[in-house]
């Protein structure tokens, strides 16, 4: 990181900015990057509390039941919507959490970028597959 300093008459150098050269070029600072992801993690955490409790109740309730029973239950619009919301919130939360881990602990830029892309692709692909499976079960049994 580099520091830019300004001097005023009669005073010593005063540090005004402390950013990397790339950060200055992109115009990014602490307030312009990461806030969206931070809020996303918090909101998905809050959403997952009731959704996970609902999912665990359903999983324990249908333990040992036939597939047809689960399909009939999932055919309800409320249950299908809650299941899809659980899937979306879970995979979004997973992607955001892994993104933070990758950004904080992977230091080589090519490896970091590859892992971030793989994380995003895996979250979207697995999330879409889970939503499609939910819809298929709900509509076709």
Same domain, 24 and 72: no
71 Cβ contact partners less than 8 Å away, ≥ 6 residues apart: 137, 138, 140, 141
Same domain, 49 and 118: yes
59-84 mean pLDDT: 96
pLDDT(65) > 90:
yes
pLDDT(57) > 90:
yes
CATH number, domain with residue 130: 1.20.1300.10
119 Cβ contact partners less than 8 Å away, ≥ 6 residues apart: 95, 98, 99, 102
Total tally of structural domains belonging to the chain: 2
Same domain, 70 and 135: yes
| Run of H or E including 1 | none
Same domain, 65 and 86: yes
Predicted local distance difference test score (pLDDT) of residue 10? 59
Same domain, 19 and 82: no
Same domain, 69 and 1: no
* Segment 77-102, tens digit of pLDDT: 999 999 999 999 999 999 999 999 99
Single out the residue of 48, 46, 49, 54 nearest to residue 73, CA to CA. Answer: 54
Same domain, 9 and 52: no
* Segment 98-114, tens digit of pLDDT: 999 999 999 999 999 99
Read off φ and ψ for residue 3, nearest 5 degrees: -115, 135
Same domain, 50 and 74: yes
pLDDT(24) > 90:
no
Same domain, 39 and 75: yes
3-15 mean pLDDT: 57
Same domain, 66 and 3: no
Predicted local distance difference test score (pLDDT) of residue 25? 57
pLDDT(32) > 90:
no
What are the start-end ranges of the E strands in 1-135? 2-7, 13-19
Same domain, 20 and 47: no
Sign of the C-alpha dihedral computed for residues 72, 76, 77 and 82 taken in this order: negative
Predicted local distance difference test score (pLDDT) of residue 16? 60
Distance of CA 50 to the CA centre of its chain: 18
Confidence of residue 34 (pLDDT cuts 50, 70, 90): confident
Same domain, 41 and 108: yes
Predicted local distance difference test score (pLDDT) of residue 114? 97
pLDDT(41) > 90:
yes
Domain membership of residue 1 as a residue range: 1-28
Which residues are paired to 33 by β-bridges? none
Rounded Cα gap, residues 92 and 45, in angstroms:
10
């Amino acid at each position: 990181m580099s520091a830019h300093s300004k001097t005023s008459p009669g005073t010593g150098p005063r540090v005004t900015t402390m950013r990397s050269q790339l950060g200055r070029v992109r115009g990014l600072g602490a307030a312009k990057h990461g806030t969206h992801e931070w809020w996303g993690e918090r909101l998905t955490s809050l959403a997952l509390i009731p959704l996970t409790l609902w999912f665990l109740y359903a999983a324990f309730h249908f333990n040992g039941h036939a597939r047809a029973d689960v399909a009939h239950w999932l055919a309800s619009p409320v249950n299908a919507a809650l299941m899809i919301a659980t899937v979306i919130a879970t995979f979004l939360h997973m992607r955001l959490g892994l993104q933070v881990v990758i950004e904080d602990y992977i230091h080589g830029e090519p490896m970091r970028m590859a892992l971030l892309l793989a994380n995003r692709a895996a979250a979207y692909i697995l999330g879409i597959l889970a939503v499609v499976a939910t819809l298929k079960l709900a509509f076709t049994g």
